Structure formats: structure tokens, C-alpha cells
Amino acid sequence: MKTSKITDSQIMSILKQAESGTLVATLWREHGMSNAIFYKWRAKYGGMDTSLIELEAMSVISETCYRYQAKLSDDNTFIAEQLIELTEENPDWSFGLCFSYLQHVKSHC
């Protein structure tokens, strides 16, 4: 989806101008936007202030951070095979040492 070139505070400013009595058609022409965009913004941000918009954006970011993204299965099997070989060769290594070895040494091979 295309990101907006207009910031949240600018959107709030445009909506406040419309609430204060400025003709909506004038706002479309001034800011170079379509009427559909204006009404979409009004439906989404109407009645909010800038801090609420920022809070809503942060909740979306927070939601995506906690959603698990699965790795490719081929990568997982390769890493699992490497880990099994490594632990068989060095049974006294800790998880951190195995992780560091796979991350730094094997990534350069």
C-alpha cells in the first residue's frame, strides 16, 4: 500500500479547517487530494487529536512486532543439521556458544 506524503498533524489540520467551516472542495484543491481521501480521513480520524493518532499508529506497530513470522523450512532444516553436527562434535558447549559459532563462523562459509 502506498504511504501518505501528508503527516498525521497535517491531516488533523485539514480536518479542523473543514470543521471550522472551510468548504471541502476548497480543501481538496489546496492540498491536491481527492474527495474520497478526505472522507476516508474524516471517517478514520474524525474526533481524534494528534496524540490519539500517534497512539493508534503505535498499537499497529506493537501488534506487528508480536506476530510470529515463520522462517523458510529449508533454512530451518539446514540450521538444525548444523546444530546437531556441532553438538555431537562438542557436547560440552552451551547454547550461547553454539549460537555464536553458527552465527559468526558458519555465516562466513
CA distance linking residue 107 with residue 85, whole number of Å: 16
Query: What is the mean predicted confidence (pLDDT) over 44-63?
Result: 70
What's the confidence (pLDDT) of residue 2? Answer: 61
Helix (H/G/I), strand (E/B), else coil: 109: coil
What the block records as the C-alpha cell of 76 is 530451518
Q: Does residue 108 have a pLDDT over 80?
A: no
Is residue 87 over pLDDT 80? yes
Q: Which of 92, 67, 69, 4 is nearest to 40 (CA)?
A: 4
Mean pLDDT, residues 90-97 taken together: 88
